[in-house]
Amino acid sequence: MNIILLSGGSGKRLWPLSNEVRSKQFIKIFKKENGEYESMVQRIYGQIRAVDPDASVTIATSKSQVSAIHNQLGEEVGISVEPCRRDTFAAIALATAYLHDVKGVDENEAVVVCPVDPYVEPTYFQCVNELYRAAEKGTKNLVLMGIEPTYPSEKYGYIRPVKNPDGGDSFVFTEKPTQAKAKEYIQEGALWNGGVFAYKLSYVLNKSKELLGTADYAELFANYSNLKKISFDYAVVENENSIEVLKYSGEWKDLGTWNTLTEAMEESTIGDAVLDETCVNVHVINELGIPVIGVGLKDLVISTSPQGILVSDKEQSARIKPLVDTVDQQIMFAEKSWGTYRILDVEEESVTVKVTLKPGHRMNYHSHERRDEVWTIVSGSGKTIVDGMEQPVKSGDVVTMAAGCKHMVVAGDEGLQIIEVQLGKEIVASDKHKYEL
């Protein structure tokens, strides 16, 4: 089974755990049987593998999310990188061309496209598999998943069954109706449109030629910023008459706000937090490693991270985005393909960072023109390469790099934890030059 997972967004409604590079799908809140926590993207990926261990998964995403994806899913997952945001049709056309031109998938093979961030039960991917098989048969150009509504929501689009003048069945698509209209649609048998559909590669490749002028991956990528900005629903689905809809009746939630996200948490607290017996409907996610204590609270979410602290009424938490837009702050935490970094302190001419490398991983070989750096090895072992000179390092060692010096570090089998102090009058992310070693 070929699957394209759409992974986008900056997740500002889930600040402070989310930021420009850490969207909601990377936040680890789902407890596994072994007691560890996993993110939405890890959960979805595991569910796919449970249904089809040999599934070929490609994630369509922005460049800023690539490192986090590799960190959480490993290096083997396929990634179609969008050079910029051009809505879902361009993203899906590019990913389809990536499968065909880069991965060598035949144009007569089927593929399923679905978002990376819904909260679903395992039967969801059994339905995804059914979509794939239906698309393989090729009876219809598009196969859509319709989700059985649990209430008349104003937040979702609806797939409405209608009769053609000739007596045949077809579908009408309506975006985010009023609650009254949604209730009418549900009584008529309408389903939520969850943005899940399957097709043969040739179908979207032909649509790409028609609407974007080409289906060649290299051309699409090179000209991506100039492509038509339109959603897949508007560009393709609403203009297609040859459609089959398969119903999914299991659990499906869009965890887009703190209120909905906490509904999926198995525990009321994650991290160092204590709530007394007078607290009601309160959830705490604490990533700071310092205690949070709640007393006499009701219907609240408390979230702490290096990015900041949120205390909000759950029902009002969706209103956070415009407030976050007023905060001018650098990224304080990020997951990279090699591990993580967390900014501990920012002064006028210094930045202190905690760097954690996974076993066997390494940073890029790079230099900075406008800052010096000092590494103190806190735990683990590995080696550094400084201006071509290699030397082993272990806990307690200190390595100093002057501005302009090329350097990198490689973790050993235990991994490596470093306190990095950056010193300079102009410390900016753009002051980084990468080199081949």
List 38's β-bridge partners, or say none.
Answer: 30
**What's the pLDDT at 404?**
95
Task: With beta carbons less than 8 A apart as the criterion, state whether 297 and 34 touch.
Answer: no
State the SS3 of 355-414: EEECCCCECCEEECCCCEEEEEEEEEEEEEEECCEEEEEECCCEEEECCCCCEEEEEEEE
**Which residues are registered as beta bridge partners of 155?**
none
Q: Is the Cα dihedral 304, 17, 149, 252 positive or negative?
A: negative
Residue 264 in this model has a pLDDT that exceeds 90: no
pLDDT of amino acid 37: 92
Percent share of the chain, pLDDT over 70? 98
pLDDT category at 154 given cuts 50, 70, 90 is confident
Cα 393 to Cα 116: distance, rounded to the nearest angstrom: 39
For the ranges 162-171, 251-260, 282-291, which has the lowest average pLDDT? 162-171
Mean pLDDT of 299-307: 95
Q: In what order do the strands lie in the sheet with 283-286?
A: 269-270, 283-286, 300-305, 308-313
All structural domains of the chain with their residue ranges: 2-254, 258-325, 338-435
What's the rounded Cα separation, in Å, for the pair 206 and 75? 31
The single residue listed with the structure tokens 């590494």 is 375
pLDDT in tens, 194-222: 899 999 999 999 999 999 999 999 999 99
Structure tokens at 130: 């059914």
Maximum CA extent, the chain: 80
Q: Write down the mean pLDDT value for the chain.
A: 92
11-28 b/e with 16+ CB inside 10 Å = b? bbbbbbbbbebbbbbbbb
pLDDT-derived band at 76 (thresholds 50, 70, 90) equals: confident
Instruction: Quote the CATH superfamily of domain 338-435.
Output: Jelly Rolls (2.60.120.10)
Q: pTM for the complete prediction?
A: 0.86
Tens of pLDDT, residues 164-202: 776 667 888 888 888 899 999 899 899 999 899 999 999
Model pLDDT, residue 201 = 97
155 versus 387: the higher-pLDDT residue is 387
Domain 2-254 has CATH 3.90.550.10: yes
Average pLDDT over residues 94-105: 97
Helix 40-51 with 66-73: angle, nearest 10 deg: 50
Residue burial 110-136, b: 16+ Cβ < 10 Å; e: rest: bbbbbbbbbbbeeebbebbbbbbebbe
Output the CA torsion 268→270→273→275 (10° steps).
0
